[in-house]
Structure 1
């Protein structure tokens, strides 16, 4: 996603989160990443010291791992900040 599209996406997401959720609130992230321990560890590190509950599950053939993260955040801006941080992990797909 190029810079312009990603800013539009995050702007829409921010508005949707403001309208649909009262903050602070629990937020569920879902990511898909290659089953490489260092990539999964990078995602874990992003949510260190946040009180997040992280669950990982490998795909049937073991090539990919889904990572679900539930964390209590104060605002839509915090949600977007974490998406941007995780987006820097090579090959990660945000759902």
Structure 2
């Protein structure tokens, strides 16, 4: 199963606006993606409650996992979002 590790760049972590943008992008992917913080329990990346429950703060390392033919592309797209400061404004193409 492909995985990507990325550090959360948003100054507020995955809360409120950054979480909403991330969840919306995850929902548009062609394959299910799950994320976790550290070695914690993974949650569906397209679940707002799940993502908020992670408590991912600025600088936290999160790991995304996906299966299927579109897994690599989905992980690349979502890792790219997490590496951006989503508090600064909506990323291009969102």
Scaled to the shorter chain, the TM-score interval is 0.3 to 0.5
Relative to its length, the structure with more helix (as a share) is 1
* Larger Rg computed on CA atoms: 1
Q: Which has the higher contact order (CA 8 A, sep 6+)?
A: 2
